[in-house]
Amino acid sequence: MSKAQQPAKIDLSNLKSGGFIKERGKDLFTVRLRVPGGRMSVPRLKKIAEVAEKYGGEFVHLSVRQSIELININFKDFDVVVEELGEATQKVASCGARVRVPVACGGCEYNPNGLVDTQKSALEVDEKLFGTATGHHKFKVAFAGCPFDCPKSATNDVGFQGAIYPQLDKDACISCGLCAKNCVPKAITMGEDNKPVFDAERCIWCGDCVKVCPTSAWSEKRRGYTVRIGGKWGRNPLVGTLFATFLPEERVVDFISTVLEWYKEKAEALGRIRLGDVIIKEGPQALLDHLRQQFPDNTVTATIPPQVIETQVGIRS
């Protein structure tokens, strides 16, 4: 009996995560790989290339959410692909109504703008929450190390952005003016006494003043994540809005779990609905009140609903 005629034996448990996506071609699937934070060791990359060459098409695809996708995988090769990738080396990712693989920028190890360890956060969320069923729709998380926000955190269900709140020791200031020169939002200007004047309302918490100050007159008063919730992209995009500030890095998993808890409850019987639309329906105050119970020092007093982006194509229902 030829290979094509043999009945396929597939370990269906491999399919549970949903990382096997049907392609147009007969029997062909895309296999989405799990790459939290977009970080890929060179040995893993070599292994993936080896498996792709053996079982896939002529190329792999780099997804917009930092995954490598193996293309043109015959479903009969699922088990051997999973085995050769090695569960400990390279896992398969997910799709569907689950917590997805978190994306992140390079973080603070080598990126001079990074304020927090986004890679550590992404790995922790991946380890503890990846694949958690939401019961409703997909759930995306992103980590940006600073307000440059390369991962576009506000277009995720929960988006984190590294932040530093600065404080000034005037006696240590040598009046060089570097802080004012570096402050893009003009939150720092030089006063008549030739010392910096800080306008907290304009500060975006980028920490540039702390980084450039020659004498450490500027230092960090608070550090953590700015958290925006309710974003999504796609056919009816929403931009997530501010729900928490200076969230300690070690509380990220707890925070997401608390949001998930609210989402699961409030979206009951609403069908396939994203978190942002639930917030619009319930009002943002309801989620703020829920978060404040666990995160009283970080939850903001008030916020606005996720912001609708008018696409100019199709009337929004």
Partner 1 sequence: MQVIDLRGVGCPTNFVKAKLALEDIAAGETAQILLDDGEPVKNVPRSLKAEGHKLLGLRQTAEGHYVLELEKVED
Contacts with partner 1 by CB under 8 A lie at 112, 174, 176-178, 181-182, 208, 211-212, 214
CB closer to partner 1 out of 46 and 186: 186
As a dihedral over the C-alpha atoms of residue 213, residue 216, residue 217, residue 223, rounded to 10 degrees, the angle is 90
For residue 8 the two structure tokens come to: 């396929």
Q: How far is the CB of 35 from partner 1 (least distance, A)?
A: 29
CB closer to partner 1 out of 57 and 177: 177
Q: How far is the CB of 181 from partner 1 (least distance, A)?
A: 6
Residue 218 to residue 169: CA distance in whole angstroms:
6
Amino acid at 198: F
Sequence-distant (6+) residues with CB within 8 A of 161 are 144, 146, 147, 149, 153, 225, 226, 227, 228
Q: How far is the CB of 309 from partner 1 (least distance, A)?
A: 31
**Residue 10 contacts residue 75 (beta carbons within 8 Å):** yes
CB closer to partner 1 out of 123 and 180: 180
CB closer to partner 1 out of 181 and 281: 181
Residue 45 to residue 42: CA distance in whole angstroms:
5
CB closer to partner 1 out of 176 and 309: 176
What is the b/e burial string over 237-260, where b = at least 16 CB atoms within 10 angstroms of the residue's CB? bbbbbbbbbbbbbebbeebbebbb
Q: How far is the CB of 116 from partner 1 (least distance, A)?
A: 17
Q: How far is the CB of 198 from partner 1 (least distance, A)?
A: 18
What is the b/e burial string over 190-201, where b = at least 16 CB atoms within 10 angstroms of the residue's CB? eeeeeebebeee
CB closer to partner 1 out of 176 and 204: 176
Q: How far is the CB of 240 from partner 1 (least distance, A)?
A: 30
Q: How far is the CB of 212 from partner 1 (least distance, A)?
A: 4
**Residue 122 contacts residue 254 (beta carbons within 8 Å):** no
Residue 195 to residue 179: CA distance in whole angstroms:
10
CB closer to partner 1 out of 54 and 181: 181
Rounded (to 5) percent helix, strand, coil in the chain: 30, 25, 45
